[in-house]
Structure 1
Amino acid sequence: MSVAGRCEICGTGEIEDGCDRCGQLVCSDHFDESTGLCTECLAEFGEAPERGRDGYPDGVDEHRF
């Protein structure tokens, strides 16, 4: 699926697909083809998508309480 516009997560990448769970339109960096989910939904499920430069999934921040 190719749609004109910007990724709803990073705002910079070109939209490549939509998340099957939440429906966000995301770029290839924020979409996992094997599950059909965006990186935000993968993080909620505890899945381990491809890691970015900082060791965390791209688009996902670490929160400590």
Structure 2
Amino acid sequence: MSVSGLCQICESRPAQERCDNCGTLACEQHYERGLGLCADCAAQADPGRQDDVDIHRL
């Protein structure tokens, strides 16, 4: 999928993917390719990941 703009999570890297759940544009670091979800949706799907995701937020 071709997307353009900045990652809507970190707002500093180019977005490369769009979340299948919420439509958020995400960079490679904030996108879980195996799940097709942005880091925020992935954290909600698996609450144990929340601490890992927060470390990467800017």
TM-score, normalization by structure 2: 0.77
> After TM superposition, where is structure 1 displaced by more than 3 Å over at least 4 residues in a row?
none
- Report the aligned-residue RMSD: 1.8
Residue correspondences, number = 54
User: Of the two structures, which has the highest relative contact order with CA contacts closer than 8 Å and spacing of 6 or more?
Assistant: 2
Match of 1:56 in 2: 52
Query: Which structure shows the higher helix fraction?
Result: 2
Match of 1:7 in 2: 7
Using the aligned pairs only, state the percent identity. Answer: 35
Structure 1 residue runs without a partner (length 5+): 50-54, 60-65
Instruction: Say which one has the larger Rg.
Output: 1
Match of 2:45 in 1: 45
State how far apart, in whole Å, the 2-side matches of 1:38 and 1:26 are: 6
Q: For residue 56 of structure 1, give the secondary structure of its aligned residue in structure 2.
A: helix
TM-score, normalization by structure 1: 0.70
State how far apart, in whole Å, the 1-side matches of 2:20 and 2:37 are: 6
1:25 to 1:40, Cα distance in 2 relative to 1, 3 A: same
